[in-house]
A and B are shown apart, each in its own frame.
Chain A
């Protein structure tokens, strides 16, 4: 069982470039979310989705876009990368309904913006 799969594991961008971080889960989970983690800080919620076609903003949504066209996939798009977006990004999913808070996390994408 693959669980939550994130690609790529590492990425280096130049300021102003755009890219998409991929996230896929094979557990038929309704809920998916993106967090970023900076050194010495906890995880901060970027965007989340409670089902296909439904997305909403988290704590730090600026500079990021998401869409949820299928239950399985929840890509995170950086529109114009900035050095402040250098971070480790984690995708998570949960069954939803009464278990939103029992999250399964991917292994992360380490992003550097030069």
Chain B
């Protein structure tokens, strides 16, 4: 079973920031936070990962709380193409052979 907890669905208006939360209640000190997304009928796509510092790339920003029990993926200006299921995952920083995907959050971006 997935170790993270996410809301099953969220809505966001086009052009606004989408903030997707994730609880990592059992994350250990050396585990990383990974985010993926899956657009309908496509394979999942890696977005971003981090350990304890906030991270940003061309797709999104990742905020991790100081106790590392929760994280937030931020899509700064959501578009209709960002409608997808978003998965947060506890990883080991690259050495986990068996990445586990939960049910994720269905983000619907509305015009």
From DSSP, what is the main secondary structure of chain B's interface residues?
Answer: loop
Residue of B nearest to A43 (CB): B101
Instruction: Give the residue among B32, B95, B97 with the most A Cβ atoms within 10 A.
Output: B97
Interchain CA distance A106-B44 in the complex, whole Å: 8
Binary B-proximity of A98-114 (CB < 8 A = 1, otherwise 0): 11111111111000000
Decide: B97 and A107 in contact? CB cutoff 8 A: no
Find A100's partner among B44, B89, B96 (CB 8 Å cutoff). B96
Q: A45-B98, A45-B100, A48-B97 are in contact. Are A104 and B46 (CB under 8 A)?
A: yes
Closest chain B residue, CB of each to CB of A96: B94
Interface presence of B57 (CB below 8 A):
no
**Chain B residues engaging chain A, CB cutoff 8 angstroms:** 2, 32, 34, 36, 41-46, 49, 87, 89, 91-104
> Assuming the A-B contacts A101-B32, A107-B42, are A42 and B94 also in contact, with contact meaning beta carbons closer than 8 angstroms in the complex?
no
Residues in A with CB closer than 8 Å to B99 are: 45, 100-101, 103
Is A56 in the interface zone, CB < 8 Å from B? Answer: yes
Q: How many residues of A contact B (CB 8 A)?
A: 27
A50 pairs with B94, CB closer than 8 A: no
Look across to chain B and name the residue whose beta carbon is closest to the beta carbon of A45.
B98
**In the complex the two chains form, what is the Cα distance from A31 to B2 in whole Å?**
21
Of the listed residues A56, A97, A100, A104, the one surrounded by the most CB atoms of chain B closer than 10 A to its CB is A100
Task: Quote the shortest CB–CB distance from A52 to chain B (angstroms).
Answer: 15
Contact B94 A102 (CB under 8 A): yes
Complex contact A48–B94 (CB within 8 A): no
Judge whether A40 is part of the interface by a CB distance below 8 angstroms: yes
B60 CB to closest chain A CB, in angstroms?
Answer: 15
Complex: how many Å from CA A58 to CA B104? 20
Q: Which residues of B contact A4 (CB under 8 A)?
A: 43
Interface 1/0 per residue, A18-46 and B, CB below 8 Å:
00000000000001000100001111010
Rounded to whole Å, the gap between the CB of B95 and the closest CB of chain A is: 6
